[in-house]
Homo-oligomer: A and B are copies of this chain.
């Protein structure tokens, strides 16, 4: 069996940057998980004593607080600033952008339609910057009973799919006179998605590596599963099962934007070992 990595996979710019910031902030504490990857969080804890707090309320005698890649709410930031703690901002610049857009647009009188998961910390952070109504939706049908104003600004969670985003915009165009669309979907996510689409259309088995609570990893998995039914989502090499690879010719590999390179390498090593034994 041949093993092939997707052309683009794994860590994006914002995650690489956040890890570097954390590595340079020994003994700091992050407010919530720095990134969606428990293995990398363990490594930062073990090697750099970077702890993970559940939320601000757990902040006691810490000297340094790191804001995670997903950002923080406006209120959370104000709370941090009122404390005697050094604030280290590891918010992904691509997340800061929609925060700024939402703040500016709402101040200009636009209500906001936000395409995203209402429970995702990035979304909670972005929403908090609006001074007007924010409609957080995953599907345009959720707006069916909403009385919309004549102008709307539309923003997306960075990890969402463009195809659905365009559908939401098409729907809004037919209900609202002005729709101001900001494509805040991250390019890195798109590139990883494009690469997994290409690879999964050729492979007969796909392994997607990433946190099971990571929305961009799940997205990659869904695209892959759609084109290659034998697709598997795993967090580490320990979940690999030999039977997945029996009689397969090409195994494609991709990884979520929060999956560390060393985790991917471990999977490849184990996979080579497994299939080598098998042959």
What separation, in Å, do the CA atoms of A165 and B174 have in the docked complex?
Answer: 10
**Complex A-B: 16 CB contacts under 8 Å:** A162-B173, A162-B174, A165-B173, A166-B170, A166-B173, A166-B174, A170-B170, A173-B181, A173-B183, A176-B183, A178-B181, A178-B182, A178-B183, A179-B183, A180-B181, A181-B181
**Cβ contacts A153-182/B at 8 Å (1 or 0 each):** 000000000100110011001101111111
If over half of A's interface residues share one DSSP class (helix, strand or loop), that class is named, otherwise mixed; here it is: mixed
User: B residues within 8 A CB of A162?
Assistant: 173-174
CB contact list, A78-133 vs B, under 8 A? none
User: B residues within 8 A CB of A181?
Assistant: 169, 173, 178-181
**Cβ contacts A173-196/B at 8 Å (1 or 0 each):** 110111111110000000000000
What separation, in Å, do the CA atoms of A265 and B151 have in the docked complex?
Answer: 40
Instruction: Say which size band chain A's interface belongs to.
Output: 10 to 19
User: B residues within 8 A CB of A182?
Assistant: 177-178
What separation, in Å, do the CA atoms of A178 and B166 have in the docked complex?
Answer: 13
Task: Decide if B173 touches A177 in the complex (CB within 8 Å).
Answer: no
What separation, in Å, do the CA atoms of A174 and B174 have in the docked complex?
Answer: 19
Q: Report, nearest first, the 9 A-B pairs whose CB atoms are least far apart.
A: A166-B170, A179-B181, A180-B180, A173-B183, A178-B182, A173-B181, A166-B173, A177-B183, A162-B174
User: B residues within 8 A CB of A176?
Assistant: 183
What separation, in Å, do the CA atoms of A49 and B127 have in the docked complex?
Answer: 62
User: B residues within 8 A CB of A178?
Assistant: 180-183
